[in-house]
């Protein structure tokens, strides 16, 4: 028999950015993720007969599979809309798309280039909108990252996470989430590739409320010293393919290798959102080493996104 889930209300209608979530919201997401992961049977009653629209402007493995499978596990269904050849708003307005979809489905997950498209969807749709990735933030990824850390560490408060690499959407989501959880975060990027200043300034204000710290550095050796986990991502994100050669040269000193991992605390975890370019941002030895939790994170995308859908769409 399926054990009934305790599904509290979140303080938000949509999930566009974790900066909008309260620490209590984050705990609700993690608790629900934990319950769904521990269940020996799928909770097909949670979203029975509900439908999810999946609008994707970008290629995807983890986001597409985990949202689709997640809806099936919760008793609903998903309809995939491929927008890689025609971005949102090009064929018809984002407002009109939102107004149509809200008549047919019960939630929308969108994976877009422009964060503004997600904001427009959420503004005009009366149903929950979930950010499956935008050029600004990747909230579902950060939720899976920190949920994984709760499994490995238990208590997160007071731990230190070091992100090494491009100050991109994943980096922004990690910053927003870390400070709400009392996690200290160091971000180390080459000059000119630091995270968005507005994100950093907002996070620093939030950090004061929750006893966490945000530190921005350019020296990878100093950044990795004594941390509990080291996180990296690709040096050129989707849409930056023409910059790959230039970025590979600029970021070469920021590769996560065994020497960098050794600067962290003994047993420090290695994290990556995937896909990874082995031999570039991370060495083969670290990627496949005993301290790597990259596949645990990938698995937890399923459980965390099921929790998000259950909490927002029920």
For residue 111, indicate whether it is catalytic.
Answer: yes
For residue 40, indicate whether it is catalytic.
Answer: no
Question: Does 196 lie in the same domain as 134?
Answer: no
The CATH number assigned to the domain holding 42 equals 3.40.50.1370
What's the mean pLDDT in 92-113?
A: 96
- Which residue, chain included where needed, has tokens 């994943």? 170
Query: Rounded to whole angstroms, what are the CA distances from 65 to 55, 61, 73, 179, 273?
Result: 13, 6, 12, 29, 15
Choose the catalytic residue: 62, 272, 301, 303.
301
Given this model, what pLDDT does residue 4 score?
A: 63
Q: Does residue 97 lie in a domain region?
A: yes
What's the mean pLDDT in 217-239?
A: 95
The Cα 20–Cα 43 span in angstroms is 27
Question: Does 96 lie in the same domain as 178?
Answer: no
Q: Does residue 59 lie in a domain region?
A: yes
Whole-model pTM: value is 0.96
The Cα 291–Cα 285 span in angstroms is 10
Number of domains, the chain? 2
Choose the catalytic residue: 83, 115, 141, 247.
141
* pLDDT greater than 50 at residue 1: no
Given this model, what pLDDT does residue 14 score?
A: 98
Given this model, what pLDDT does residue 2 score?
A: 54
Question: Does 150 lie in the same domain as 120?
Answer: no
For residue 242, indicate whether it is catalytic.
Answer: no
Residue ranges of the alpha helices (H) in the chain? 23-38, 62-73, 94-104, 115-124, 139-153, 169-180, 197-210, 220-224, 244-250, 258-263, 284-287, 294-313
Question: Does 47 lie in the same domain as 152?
Answer: no
CB 188, CB 223: distance < 8 Å: yes
Q: Does residue 68 lie in a domain region?
A: yes
Largest CA distance in the chain: 56
For residue 187, how many other CB atoms are within 10 A of its CB? 28
Question: Does 162 lie in the same domain as 117?
Answer: no
DSSP code of residue 186 = E
Question: Does 153 lie in the same domain as 91?
Answer: no
- What's the angle, vertex CA 178, arms to CA 69 and CA 264, rounded to 5? 100
Question: Does 221 lie in the same domain as 244?
Answer: yes
Choose the catalytic residue: 25, 233, 247, 303.
233
Given this model, what pLDDT does residue 35 score?
A: 95
* Main-chain phi, psi angles of 183, to 5 degrees: -95, 130
Q: Does residue 170 lie in a domain region?
A: yes
Work out the percent of the chain whose per-residue pLDDT is above 90: 90
- Determine how β-strand 184-188 pairs with β-strand 214-217: parallel
Choose the catalytic residue: 14, 273, 303, 305.
273
What's the mean pLDDT in 147-154?
A: 98
For residue 141, indicate whether it is catalytic.
Answer: yes
The whole-chain average pLDDT of the chain stands at: 95
For residue 82, how many other CB atoms are within 10 A of its CB? 11
**What is the DSSP track for 113-165?**
S-HHHHHHHHHH-SS-EEEEE-SS--HHHHHHHHHHHHHHHS--TT-EEEEES
Q: Does residue 61 lie in a domain region?
A: yes
* pLDDT greater than 90 at residue 126: yes
CB 169, CB 136: distance < 8 Å: yes
Q: Report, in angstroms and rounded to the nearest whole number, the Rg of the chain calculated over CA atoms.
A: 19
The Cα 263–Cα 300 span in angstroms is 27
Choose the catalytic residue: 106, 111, 115, 303.
111
Choose the catalytic residue: 83, 106, 115, 138.
138
Question: Does 182 lie in the same domain as 123?
Answer: no
What's the mean pLDDT in 150-174?
A: 98
The Cα 187–Cα 193 span in angstroms is 11
For residue 241, how many other CB atoms are within 10 A of its CB? 9
* pLDDT greater than 90 at residue 85: no
Question: Does 133 lie in the same domain as 162?
Answer: no
Q: Does residue 7 lie in a domain region?
A: no
Q: Does residue 3 lie in a domain region?
A: no
* pLDDT greater than 90 at residue 5: no
Question: Does 40 lie in the same domain as 145?
Answer: no
Question: Does 292 lie in the same domain as 159?
Answer: yes
Dihedral of the alpha carbons of 124, 82, 29, 102, in degrees to the nearest 10: 30
The tens digit of pLDDT for each residue in 276-311 reads 999 999 999 999 999 999 999 999 999 999 999 999
What's the mean pLDDT in 13-37?
A: 97
Given this model, what pLDDT does residue 304 score?
A: 98
Question: Does 291 lie in the same domain as 145?
Answer: yes
The Cα 172–Cα 142 span in angstroms is 9
For residue 301, indicate whether it is catalytic.
Answer: yes
For residue 96, indicate whether it is catalytic.
Answer: no
Given this model, what pLDDT does residue 237 score?
A: 83
The closest of 29, 23, 35, 39 to 9, measured between CA atoms, is 29
Domain with 147, as residue range(s), is 141-297
What's the mean pLDDT in 69-79?
A: 97
Q: Does residue 200 lie in a domain region?
A: yes
Given this model, what pLDDT does residue 39 score?
A: 85
Given this model, what pLDDT does residue 241 score?
A: 78
């Amino acid at each position: 028999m399926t054990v009934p889930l305790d599904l509290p209300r979140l303080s938000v209608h949509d999930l566009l950015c974790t900066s909008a979530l309260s620490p209590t919201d984050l705990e609700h997401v993690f608790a629900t993720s934990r319950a769904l992961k521990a269940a020996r049977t799928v909770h097909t009653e949670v979203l029975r007969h509900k439908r999810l629209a999946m609008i994707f402007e970008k290629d995807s493995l983890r986001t597409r599979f985990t949202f689709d499978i997640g809806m099936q596990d919760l008793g609903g269904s998903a309809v995939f809309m491929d927008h890689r050849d025609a971005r949102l708003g090009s064929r018809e307005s984002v407002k009109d798309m939102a107004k149509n979809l809200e008549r047919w489905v019960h939630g929308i997950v969108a994976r877009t280039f422009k964060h503004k498209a997600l904001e427009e969807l959420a503004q005009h749709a009366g149903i929950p909108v979930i950010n499956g990735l935008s050029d600004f933030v990747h909230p579902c990824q950060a939720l899976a990252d920190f949920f994984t850390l709760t499994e490995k560490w238990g208590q997160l408060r007071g731990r230190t996470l070091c992100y090494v690499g491009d100050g991109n959407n994943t980096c922004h989501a990690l910053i927003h989430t870390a400070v709400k959880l009392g996690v200290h975060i160091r971000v180390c990027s080459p000059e000119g590739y630091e995270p968005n200043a507005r994100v950093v300034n907002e996070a620093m204000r939030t950090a004061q409320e929750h006893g966490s710290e945000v530190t921005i550095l350019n020296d990878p050796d100093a950044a990795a010293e004594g941390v509990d986990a080291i996180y990296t991502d690709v040096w050129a994100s989707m849409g930056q393919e023409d910059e790959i050669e230039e970025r590979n040269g600029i970021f070469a000193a920021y590769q996560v290798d065994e020497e960098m991992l050794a600067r962290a605390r003994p047993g420090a975890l290695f994290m990556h959102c995937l896909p990874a370019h082995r031999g570039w941002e991370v060495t083969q030895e670290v990627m496949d080493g005993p301290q790597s939790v990259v596949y645990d994170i990938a698995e937890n995308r399923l459980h965390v996104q099921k929790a998000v859908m259950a909490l927002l769409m029920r």
